[in-house]
Amino acid sequence: MTQASNATCQIQMLDSGYSKEARALLYQAYRQEPTFQYLFEASRPGYERRMRATIRALVKQHFFQDLPALGLLVDDRLVGIALIAPPLRRLGITESWAWQLRMLLTAGLRGTRRYLNYHNAVLACIPGDAVHMLPLLGIHPQFQGLHYGEQLLEAVHNWCAADEHSEGVVLDTGNEHYLEFYKRQGYVQIGEVAIGPVVEHVFFHANPQVLHTATA
């Protein structure tokens, strides 16, 4: 386990210059996730190749569309990242023919179909258009358990709250170990989706102005 003592931590917006680091980090963060293991068939040969290809395609399309990404750096090393899809722009990645073609050629037809079905099922749980989504969010496994996840999410919430048209942030997970963590950060569950044998939990975190209006 990497130690956090004397480490300099900072949050910053990322551009495409961080693509390679982002892909490597997200691969490590997601390769053991139940949802992705089902979507891309971890028990079948070639899983790591399909996973790397999927992460590469998602990150490439995200930066190509100039969508925001927040990074958490420790001593100038990228150890945490949140890809953010703002309101009304969250469908662009999977609707891109270029993205779908890359996925078909690398992740395969079955993996691509499964991912699109998963993506659409999560979208169906979202309460309206005025929310930010976090399609990919991760802390490098070596840096988990050091409260960097809390710092990254706080930065995401603050950044999204600056948009007066946004009601909050939506994310999803099929990992049971994260459920209590997200609840402690102020998330409430708004839906469940069956992804094969995995139950995907969809969470919502309201922006401060929405909470203020609700209690006023």
CATH of the domain at 126: 3.40.630.30
Report yes or no: 33 and 171 within 8 Å, Cβ to Cβ.
Answer: no
pTM of the model: 0.89
Q: How many domains does the chain have?
A: 1
Does residue 62 lie within any of the structural domains? yes
pLDDT (0 to 100) of residue 45:
95
* Identity of the amino acid at 212: H
Answer yes or no: are the C-beta atoms of 118 and 193 closer than 8 Å.
Answer: yes
DSSP code, position 153: H
pLDDT of residue 127: 79
- In a domain, residue 4? The reply is no
Instruction: Answer yes or no: is 203 within a domain.
Output: yes
* Structure confidence by residue, pLDDT tens digits, 11-64: 999 999 999 999 999 999 999 999 999 999 999 999 999 999 999 999 998 999
Q: How far from 93 is each of 12, 14, 28, 46, 61, CA to CA, in Å? A: 23, 18, 22, 24, 6
- 2 part of a folded domain: no
Position 122 in a domain: yes
Its domain, for residue 160, covers: 9-215
Stretch 159-172: mean pLDDT: 92
